Amino acid sequence: MSSAVQKRRPPTAQQFVLEELRRAITTGELRPGGQIRQDALAARLDVSRVPLREALKTLEAEGLVVHHIHRGYFVAELSLADLEEIYRIRELLETEAVRLAVARGEDGLVATLENIQREVERAADAGDVTAMAAANRRFHFTLIEASRMPRLVRLIGTLWDATDAYRSLYYTEVPNRELAVREHRAVISAVRHGDEHAAVRELSAHRAHAVAALREVLDLE
């Protein structure tokens, strides 16, 4: 294990494994439906099976992995109905968070969003799907966290975790990346003008376009 990884380790082995597993799942490194091979993973992360099992139990409770008797743990797969339900719940929760964030008008919020948006656009232009998905998440959560509602933010984060692997599929197509860039710019404009209704409207359209595209992908599988 490299010294860089050692420095990033959280206080406990279980937290370290949990963060690494969640990252691998949400970035698509571990694909939906794929088996999690515990011996190989424990060796790669340089941990025992105990913190690995505890981390898997936590992820199972969050819906990111499933356990099949005599077969082991697998990355959870979402049906179209699952995906649509998650996005619907996100809309309900994020609408409240965004309204609060825009109404608060926090100093520096627009500038921060613009900085992150430049990262989104660089990744989009380069076709770097992983980097774009990561920057996209930072963009949305910068706005959501400006609501100053930490419990609400945590609930939304759990929903995002459940669909991050699928979100990367959306950004694979150039037109989807270009559309997301335009929609983010519209959101920034709404926030800049303190127009919470416009911000909510633009983000609702943003989510709807993602669901429509993912619906086509899942229908083909």
pLDDT block averages, 10 residues each, the chain of length 221? 48 86 80 88 90 92 88 89 93 97 95 98 92 93 98 94 80 92 98 97 95 78 54
- The pLDDT, as a whole number, for residue 57 is 93
Burial 23-49 (b: 16+ CB within 10 A, else e): ebbbbbebebebebeeeebbeebebee
DSSP state of 22: H
72 φ, ψ (degrees, to nearest 5): 105, -160
77 φ, ψ (degrees, to nearest 5): -105, 145
- For residues 19 and 161, the answer to whether their CB atoms sit within 8 Å is no
- The pLDDT, as a whole number, for residue 80 is 86
- The pLDDT, as a whole number, for residue 221 is 54
- The pLDDT, as a whole number, for residue 72 is 92
- The pLDDT, as a whole number, for residue 3 is 46
